[in-house]
């Protein structure tokens, strides 16, 4: 007996979801440890040479005494390495990789004032949008964002806690001689960058920590709500509060449905194993409150 096409589609979709959850758990992609870095690079060379930028090869470097924090919770997919400086170990983090698409988590956002949007024609200077490879003439600039995995989602939970453990970023670039294949140069870089025992060799971009302390002052002293109010206005605070209340109500309704249809203990255990600690805690707390009523 042959199953209907609809039944086969259902089972194939269910298997695909299962594979996705398996990959997520294996590579700990649900852990809340992604740091997003936005970067603006302009070619200001005085020799008028064109340059190639390779955003997918950007690296972050820890301080001597913070390498253990950023290396916690690493999976086999994480692009992490170490090198020695005066007998001290520093950690190097490469751009995070998506376990499903296998692409680096990098995004070109703007070239010379023109936003780069999906479905729109790309500027001729963009050689590979997935890897973010772009060439810059003198005076031209590009804005890109890249994401990195730092820590186990426990020791480091905010942008500030991530940045206070990082000394600099290293931007991969090269001079561009006409005729050289930009994508081939990126492939060559990928073979050499991130090797254990080797310090980053790109353009060093140190982080301005005093400025960061000023920026996050309200958050550090008065909390998240005060930070949002001072930086984004009272309206954004009210939106956040409404969203939180809505999420709580939806969570309670979902919890009731889940308790009626499946093993909640098993589901909470699976969430924890997949790195979704906050979600598991929230679901467990919702269940406790409902039982107390």
pLDDT in tens, the chain (293 residues): 333 343 344 334 434 444 555 555 666 666 678 899 999 999 999 999 999 999 999 999 999 999 889 888 777 667 788 898 888 899 999 998 887 778 899 999 999 999 999 889 999 999 999 999 999 999 999 999 999 988 877 888 888 899 999 999 999 999 988 778 999 999 988 888 878 888 888 899 999 999 999 998 998 898 888 888 888 888 877 877 776 666 565 555 555 665 555 566 776 776 666 556 666 776 677 666 666 65
Going by the DSSP 8-state scheme, the letter that residue 237 receives in this structure is H
User: What gap in Å lies between CA 209 and CA 2, rounded to an integer?
Assistant: 65
Alpha-carbon gap, residue 53 to 55, rounded angstroms: 6
Q: Rounded distance, CA 43 to CA 262, Å?
A: 57
pTM of the model: 0.73
Q: What is the rounded CA–CA span in Å between residue 15 and residue 21?
A: 10
- Candidates 223, 187, 163; CA nearest to 37 is 163
């Amino acid at each position: 007996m042959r199953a209907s096409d609809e039944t086969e589609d259902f089972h194939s979709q269910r298997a695909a979801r299962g594979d996705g959850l398996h990959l997520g758990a294996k590579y700990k992609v649900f852990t809340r440890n992604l740091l997003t870095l936005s970067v603006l690079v302009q070619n200001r060379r005085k020799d008028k040479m064109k340059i190639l930028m390779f955003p997918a090869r950007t690296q972050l470097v820890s301080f001597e005494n913070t390498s253990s924090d950023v290396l916690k919770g690493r999976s086999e997919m994480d692009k992490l390495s170490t090198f020695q400086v005066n007998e001290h170990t520093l950690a190097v983090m490469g751009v995070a990789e998506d376990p499903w698409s296998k692409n680096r988590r990098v995004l070109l956002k703007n070239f010379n004032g023109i936003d780069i949007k999906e479905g729109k024609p790309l500027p001729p200077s963009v050689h590979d949008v997935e890897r973010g490879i772009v060439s810059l003439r003198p005076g031209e600039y590009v804005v890109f964002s890249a994401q990195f995995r730092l820590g186990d989602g426990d020791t480091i939970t905010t942008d500030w806690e991530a940045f206070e453990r990082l000394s600099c970023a290293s931007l991969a670039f090269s001079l561009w001689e006409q005729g050289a294949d930009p994508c081939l140069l990126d492939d060559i870089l990928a073979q050499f960058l991130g090797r254990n025992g080797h310090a980053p060799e790109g353009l060093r971009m140190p982080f301005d920590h005093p400025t960061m302390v000023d920026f996050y002052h309200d958050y550090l002293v008065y909390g998240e709500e005060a930070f949002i109010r001072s930086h984004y206005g009272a309206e954004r605070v009210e939106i956040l509060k409404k969203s939180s209340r809505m999420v709580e109500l939806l969570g309670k309704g979902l919890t009731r449905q889940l308790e009626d249809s499946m093993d909640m203990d098993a589901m909470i255990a699976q969430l924890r194993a997949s790195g979704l600690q906050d979600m598991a805690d929230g679901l467990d707390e919702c269940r406790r409150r409902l039982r107390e009523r």
